Amino acid sequence: MQSSAHTADGAAPVPRLAAHFASLEVQTHAARLGMWLFLATEILLFAGLFVCYGCYRFLYPEAWAAGSRSLDLTMGTVNTVVLITSSLTAALAVHYAKEGKNKMVGIMFALTLVMAIGFLVIKYFEYSHKFHIGTLPGRYYTYEGMQMPGITLYFTVYFCSTALHALHVLIGMGVLTVAMIRAFTKADFGPNNFTMVELGSMYWHLVDLVWIFLFPMLYLV
């Protein structure tokens, strides 16, 4: 994510070329490649949870079905719509960055952040209900309404996967906040300098993609 410099005549900003790169094109390509490699490691991280999910669901199908029915499908659906919509605004931020419309970049990221906060608020209410009735992971499970083999494993997978996803939401919000501030205060982005916006948006799309897998796995089984 390069910093930028404005030309003397007020033209669109261009990224600063780091000394170890031969050209701006090579620098931009390296940034994109690095981000794709990072996203690949993030996918591997969640893939481990998906494998655990598949194994335990095969071993305890009744517990998995009961655990899924206990979740609030309405909240999960609303969160899915919110997160998918936030990916749209993040993509629009890239579009406006390429056109040098920094104010619109800031607005699109602000809307993305508002929806991210909404997602976390809904998740907070979901968590609060589960803490209240005792559908917690492992040995902390105290709910008397569902007592069957494997039910504690379902909620262990649920909390591990959704909490890890929520952590990624918070990290993404931090990245988008920095980009939003730069767009509003420095007008940093233009047709020759939109890499930070693009990479931040790519990370946010990963957050959205992971949830698209988690929602049917946890709520619709």
**pLDDT tens by residue, 93-128:** 999 999 999 999 999 999 999 999 999 999 999 999
Q: State mean pLDDT over 19-26.
A: 64
Q: State mean pLDDT over 182-210.
A: 91
Any long-range contacts for 39-46 (C-beta under 8 Å, 24+ apart)?
Answer: 39/202, 39/203, 39/206, 42/168, 42/206, 43/206, 45/164, 46/161, 46/164, 46/165, 46/210, 46/213
User: What percentage of residues in the chain have a pLDDT greater than 90?
Assistant: 71
- The structure tokens listed for 145 are 């309404």
Q: State mean pLDDT over 16-25.
A: 63
pTM (2 d.p.): 0.87
pLDDT of 8 above 50: no
For position 23, what pLDDT does the model report?
Answer: 64
Cα 114 from chain centre: 13
Find where tokens 């607005």 sit. 107
pLDDT of 176 above 90: yes
d(CA 38, CA 10): 35
pLDDT band for 138, please (50, 70, 90 cuts). Answer: confident
pLDDT band for 197, please (50, 70, 90 cuts). Answer: very high
Class of domain 21-219: mainly alpha
Identify which has the larger pLDDT, 30 or 75.
75
Residue ranges of the domains in the chain?
21-219
